[in-house]
Amino acid sequence: MIEKLTLNNQEDSIDFKAMQRSCFVDVTEELPPPPIALSLGTYTYGQQIYPIPFGTYGNFSALVGASKSMKTFLKSALIAGYIGGQAQNYFPNLKGHDVEDKLIIDVDTEQSLWHTQRVAKRVCEMVGTNPNNFIPFTTREYDARIRFQFIEWIMMESEYRNNIGLITIDGAADILENVNDLDMANLITQGMMKWTTKSNAHLCTILHRNHNTDKPTGHLGSSIMKKSETVAFVTRDDKLTKVTPDYCRNYPFDEFYFELDENHLPKESEDSKPFI
């Protein structure tokens, strides 16, 4: 008799016969590519022009940068670009797809209510209206475990669960106690994989970069980076911020620069001087 090996000496009650059927990959089936949630520019293949996916529905992406590198400003631009409206005046290449009747959830984990509201108002200013489908939250007062459970509840159980198009988590390090806890880091990443698969939403999170390296912080950063569909690195140099497609499963977007306009709103810059 073969001895069963289980994790933590526990065996989950799973119908593996049903799992066998649901997980089987039929190589003869014609499957369409995952639908694009947010694109960043276009590319030409043959005679056809295609949007470049930044993120697709049912997947997740990450923005990586040092502290105060304008990551949250880029997040605001992504949200505004997904919603549409006047956002194209700031980032002409950012475009949301299949956005009708979809909700946009923005979860901030560290900023005060005032600062979180200011970030949310930035999105509204870029769009040119206060969209009813844009729903921001601040979770600063709660501990990491509760934040994690709240996000899971939002995506899996709340009244929003069947209509989420885009959800952002700013930032991922605050939904676990220790970014160097390997087991918890894997649990968080596994959660993101499950949430996005079940909800068919696109999730974008923010990661801090280690000092003097290009790697995101801790086991959590490494785990999310490995599983993300798109990892964009954000680097600030004085007034300009550079965004590069360091890791992409799809056709990579072109690196671009943005700056703040006279109203302190992020706007794509025509100045593309190389960083020194």
Q: Between 212 and 11, whose confidence is greater?
A: 212
When pLDDT is averaged across residues 163-184 and rounded to a whole number, the result is 93
When pLDDT is averaged across residues 131-136 and rounded to a whole number, the result is 97
Per residue in 49-63, pLDDT tens?
A: 999 999 999 999 999
When pLDDT is averaged across residues 122-140 and rounded to a whole number, the result is 97
CATH superfamily of 34-268: P-loop containing nucleotide triphosphate hydrolases (3.40.50.300)
Q: Is 174 left (phi over 0), alpha (psi -120 to 50) or beta?
A: alpha
HSE at residue 54, side-chain half, CA atoms within 13 A, is 29
Task: Output the pLDDT for position 10.
Answer: 53
DSSP secondary structure string for all residues of the chain: -PPP--GGG------HHHHHHHH---TTS--PPPPEEEEEEEEEETTEEEEEEEEETT-EEEEEE-TTSSHHHHHHHHHHHHH-GGGGGT-TTEEE-S-TT-EEEEEESSS-HHHHHHHHHHHHHHHTS--TTEEEEE-TTS-HHHHHHHHHHHHHTSTTTTSEEEEEEE-GGGGSS-TT-HHHHHHHHHHHHHHHHHH--EEEEEEEBPTTSSSBSHHHHHHHHHH-SEEEEEEEETTEEEEEEEEESSSPPPPEEEEE-TTS-EEE-S--PPP-
pTM higher than 0.85 for the full model? Answer: yes
Q: Which of 1-5, 167-171, 264-268 has the lowest mean pLDDT?
A: 1-5
Task: Output the pLDDT for position 107.
Answer: 98
Per residue in 180-218, pLDDT tens?
A: 899 999 999 999 999 999 999 999 999 998 777 777 888
Domain ranges of the chain: 34-268
Instruction: Report the share of the chain in percent with pLDDT over 70.
Output: 93
Taking each helix axis from N to C terminus, what angle separates 218-227 and 182-199, rounded to the nearest 10 degrees?
30
Per residue in 60-88, pLDDT tens?
A: 999 999 988 999 999 999 999 999 999 99
Task: Output the pLDDT for position 5.
Answer: 42
Token pair listed for 119:
């970030």
User: Which of 1-5, 28-32, 93-97, 180-184 is the most confident on average?
Assistant: 93-97
> Does residue 177 carry a pLDDT above 50?
yes
241 phi and psi, to 5 degrees? Answer: -125, 130
Cα–Cα distance for residue pair 169/173, rounded to 1 Å:
10
The confidence band for 95, taking pLDDT boundaries of 50, 70 and 90, is: very high
Task: Output the pLDDT for position 225.
Answer: 93
Task: Output the pLDDT for position 189.
Answer: 95
